[in-house]
Structure 1
Amino acid sequence: MSEQPPYLRIADVLRQRIASGEWQPGDRLPSRARFAEEYDVGDNVVRRAQEHLISQGLLEGRAGSGTYVAEPRARLRMVRGLAREKRGGSPFRADMAALGRAGTWEYRTEAKVPAPEDIARRLGIEAGALTVRTAYEFLGNGKPVQLSTSWEPYDLTGGTLIVLPEGGPYAGKGVVERMAAIGITISHAVEQPEPRTATTEEAHLLGVQRGALVTAIERTYYAEDGRPVETADIVVPAAHCEIVYEIPINRP
């Protein structure tokens, strides 16, 4: 059997020292240089060990400050349903506010992206037709909560005030409110959740271990005439969030 890589050996030692109570949640760890000297390894080995523990949620890095023992994270209860679409503004920000957290996000938008075959099928357009693609990283109190990649047909929003989801007067608004601004009323959304494991990139962005369980949601918004107007792939870490669906009941 091959010998354990040095960075995993150091990660195990650090994990044991944290478990023993040597450092408490919120404590700053000694410098990498100190650990490198203590364990007679290179600084790069310590860096990889700490990154490994960060991916498992045991440590957290703070830019310009150092590495800290992570505070225990309560599992968030995220309710999805009609009510979240009627509150105005950003549904995600409202979701986080209901949990007593500040909802923020980072994004990257690309205009005129040819639609892959599966996205084209979901949007009811030809494969290769132009779309506006926006990748999001959603944060609750600065910690990653979910990822999302949204696609909108360029023929639908091109030349309007909402062509860029995070630009113009409707920046940061939800899809329902943005589409209403160009005369499109969204009647419903369809969501298909599936459990799977996180990819390496997803794990890095969500601060979970590679291969950790996530809930992947394929969501599509539809206009009153049945047209799909936006589709998105949403990824939620199962260890940090539980997803609950609220189903309205129409009274007779």
Structure 2
Amino acid sequence: MGIGEQPAYLRVASDLRQKIVSGSLPPHTRLPSQARIREEYGVSDTVALEARKVLMAEGLVEGRSGSGTYVRERPVPRHIARSGFRPPSGANPFRQEQAIEGVHGTWESRSDQEEADEEIAGRLGVPVGDRVMRTRYVFRENAEPIMLSTSWEPLELTGRTPVMLPEEGPLGGCGVVERMAAIDVVVDNVSEEVGARPGLAEELLALGGVPGHVVMVVSRTYFASDRAVETADIVALADRFRIAYRLPVK
């Protein structure tokens, strides 16, 4: 294979991908069979199979038991707006974004105490093994799950206070800034890291993805000065969202 030449399976996958993107193979259309790909492109069964696997890993097609492989509906990505601006509504960020988009969003959550592992302890600046409150969220839009989030808060800070449970009590669901202010902790800065990785099986199952689907992860930590008061991982399918930042220039 010379310089710049693609392996045969990538060449086939690239041509089929272009047909999907251009609309020549519209959503819900059955992908050419393995035998058809073999004949049309003059490749082996192995090459045809690997090309189909590439498209499945990219989330462009999906297999249907006993029926074949079909082109998936391509969602129009939504923006997740990120900025330092916080309207005085007292709502959490998800509720604010839902209101801006004019859609009906709901979520469910569950909080449990656990010991901080090495990663979470490092993010919160607490000793490994310290007790934290972990809260898992499933966010839904029009009853469809669209986003997952897991947050951790140090119980050394919130334990035995009215805001120990993020979604219960007088300030349940109000967001980190408002809840911490209720216990005289002033949140004044936040850090975020955005990355992507293959989705875990349980994440893809919850979000309606397919094996190999890439997820976008926003790792966010709220601080009161230099003290971390909450850290969270927000997970969404990468082809459904775009992160849009608006930052002040000083």
What TM-score do you get using the length of structure 1 for normalisation?
0.69
Q: CA deviation at 1:188?
A: 0.8
Structure 1 runs, 4 residues or longer, greater than 3 Å off? 55-59, 70-73, 84-87
Q: CA deviation at 1:145?
A: 2.0
Q: Is the 8 A contact 1:200 1:211 kept in 2?
A: no
Structure 1: gaps of 5 or more residues: 1-15, 21-51, 60-69
CA distance in 2, matches of 1:57, 1:125: 44
What is residue 28 of structure 1 aligned with on the other side?
Answer: none
What is residue 211 of structure 2 aligned with on the other side?
Answer: 210
What do the CA deviations read for 1:186-243 (whole angstroms, capped 9, x no partner)? 011000111111111110111111221111111110003x100000111121111111
Q: CA deviation at 1:58?
A: 7.7
Q: Tell me the SS of whatever aligns to 1:215.
A: strand
* Number of residue pairs aligned between Structure 1 and Structure 2: 191
Q: Counterpart amino acid of 2:233? A: D
Q: Tell me the SS of whatever aligns to 2:91.
A: coil
What do the CA deviations read for 1:24-71 (whole angstroms, capped 9, x no partner)? xxxxxxxxxxxxxxxxxxxxxxxxxxxx9xx98989xxxxxxxxxx98
Structure 2: gaps of 5 or more residues: 1-25, 31-55, 64-71
What is residue 247 of structure 1 aligned with on the other side?
Answer: 247
Q: Tell me the SS of whatever aligns to 1:151.
A: strand
Q: Which has the larger radius of gyration?
A: 2
| Correspondences of 1:123-162 after superposition (within 5 Å) | 123-162=124-163
Q: Counterpart amino acid of 1:136? A: Y
Q: Is the 8 A contact 1:84 1:94 kept in 2?
A: no
Q: 1:74 to 1:138 in 2, by over 3 A?
A: same
Asked if 1:103 is matched to 2:98, the reply is no
Identity level (%): 41
CA distance in 2, matches of 1:85, 1:228: 22
Q: Counterpart amino acid of 1:219? A: R
CA distance in 2, matches of 1:58, 1:94: 34
Q: Is the 8 A contact 1:57 1:208 kept in 2?
A: no
CA distance in 2, matches of 1:17, 1:240: 16
CA RMSD of the aligned region, Å? 2.6
